[in-house]
Copies of this chain bind each other. A is one copy, B any other.
Amino acid sequence: MPAYSSMDKNLIAEEHKKLSDLYASYKQRGLSLNMARGKPGAEQVSLSNDMLSAVTPDTVFKTEDCPDVRNYGGLDGIIEAKRIFADMLGVEAENIFVGGNSSLNMMFDTIACLMEQGAGDKPWNQQGKIKFLCPAPGYDRHFGVTGYFGIEMITVPMTENGPDMDIVEKLVSEDSSVKGIWCIPKYSNPQGITYSDETVRRFASLKPAAKDFRIMWDNAYVIHDINDTPDKLLNIFDELKKNGSEDLVFEFCSTSKITFPGAGVAAVAASKNNLALLKKRYNFQTIGYDKINMLRHALYFKNIDGVLAHMQKHKAVLQPRFEMVLNILETELGDYDVASWTKPNGGYFVSVDVTEGCAKRVVQLCKDAGVILTGAGATYPYGKDPKDSNIRIAPTYPPLDELKLAMEVFCVSAKLAAIEKFL
Q: Contacts A52-B56, A57-B50 hold; do A74 and B104 have CB atoms under 8 A apart?
A: no
**Are the CB atoms of B68 and A45 closer together than 8 Å?**
yes
The one of B37, B72, B292 that contacts A39, using a Cβ cutoff of 8 Å: B72
Please give, as numbers and ranges, the residues of chain B lying within 8 Å of A57 by CB-CB distance: 49-50, 52-53
CB of A290 within 8 A of CB of B101, answer: yes
Task: Name the one of B45, B102, B148, B290 contacting A70, with C-beta atoms under 8 angstroms.
Answer: B45
A422 contacts B by Cβ under 8 Å: no
Q: Is A149's CB under 8 angstroms from B116's CB?
A: yes
User: What does DSSP make chain A's interface, helix, strand, loop or mixed?
Assistant: loop
Q: Per-position contact with B for A106-147: 1 when CB-CB < 8 Å, else 0?
A: 001000100010000000010000000000000001001101
Q: Smallest CB-CB separation from A101: which chain B residue? A: B290
User: In the assembly, what is the distance between CA of A42 and CA of B71, in Å?
Assistant: 8
Q: What's the nearest-Cβ distance from chain B to residue A2, in Å? A: 43
Confirm or deny: A157 has a beta carbon within 8 angstroms of a beta carbon on chain B.
no
**Contacting residues of chain A (140-162) with chain B, CB-CB under 8 angstroms:** 141, 144-145, 147-149
Closest chain B CB from A296 CB (angstroms): 9
Do the beta carbons of B105 and A285 come within 8 Å of each other?
yes
**A interface bracket (residues with beta carbon within 8 Å of B):** 35 or more
Query: Shortest CB–CB separation between residue A294 and chain B, in angstroms?
Result: 9
Query: Which of A165-173, A204-212, A215-223, A255-263 lies at the binding interface?
Result: A255-263
Q: Mark A267-289, 1 if CB is under 8 A from B, else 0.
A: 00000000000000101111111
Which B residue's beta carbon lies closest to that of A147?
Answer: B284
Chain B residues lying within 8 Å of A72, measured Cβ to Cβ, are 37, 39, 256, 261-262
CB contact between A71 and one of B58, B68, B261 (< 8 Å): that residue: B261
Which B residues are CB-close (under 8 A) to A281? 148
- How far is A74 from B252 in the complex, measured between Cα atoms in Å? 23
Which B residues touch A55, using CB under 8 A? Answer: 52
With contacts A42-B68, A286-B102 taken as known, whether A262 is within 8 angstroms of B74 at the C-beta atoms is: yes
Copies of this chain present:
2
Instruction: Report the minimal beta-carbon distance from A112 to chain B, rounded to whole angstroms.
Output: 7
Partner of A263, one of B48, B256, B284, B291: B291
B-facing residues in A39-64 (Cβ within 8 Å): 39-40, 42, 45, 48-50, 52-53, 55-59
Q: Name A290's contact: one of B48, B68, B141, B290 (CB within 8 Å).
A: B290
Chain B nearest CB, measured from A239 CB (Å) = 31
The answer to whether the Cβ of A100 comes within 8 Å of any Cβ in the partner chain is yes
Per the bound structure, the CA–CA distance linking A37 and B67 in Å amounts to: 15
How many Å lie between the Cα of A292 and that of B106 in the bound state? 20
Q: A52-B56, A57-B53, A263-B291 are in contact. Are A284 and B145 (CB under 8 A)?
A: yes
| Chain B, residue nearest A99 (CB) | B100
User: Is A73 in contact with B262, judged by CB distance below 8 angstroms?
Assistant: yes
Question: Is A69 an interface position by the 8 A CB rule?
Answer: yes
- Chain B nearest CB, measured from A349 CB (Å): 15
Residue on B with the closest CB to A264?
B290
A284 interface neighbour in B148, B256, B293, Cβ under 8 Å: B148
Question: Would B56 and A53 count as touching, CB distance under 8 A?
Answer: yes
A353 to chain B, nearest CB (A): 26
What residues on B are CB-neighbors of A290 within 8 Å?
A: 100-101, 262-263, 290, 293
8 additional contacts, CB 8 Å, given A71-B261, A102-B289, A290-B290?
A39-B71, A49-B58, A52-B55, A52-B292, A69-B262, A72-B256, A101-B290, A102-B288
Can you name 16 A-B pairs with beta carbons within 8 Å? A39-B72, A42-B71, A45-B68, A45-B70, A48-B70, A49-B57, A49-B58, A52-B59, A74-B262, A102-B286, A102-B289, A108-B285, A125-B125, A145-B284, A263-B293, A290-B290
Top 10 A-B pairs, shortest CB-CB distance: A49-B57, A263-B292, A148-B284, A72-B261, A105-B286, A70-B260, A108-B285, A263-B290, A262-B291, A102-B286
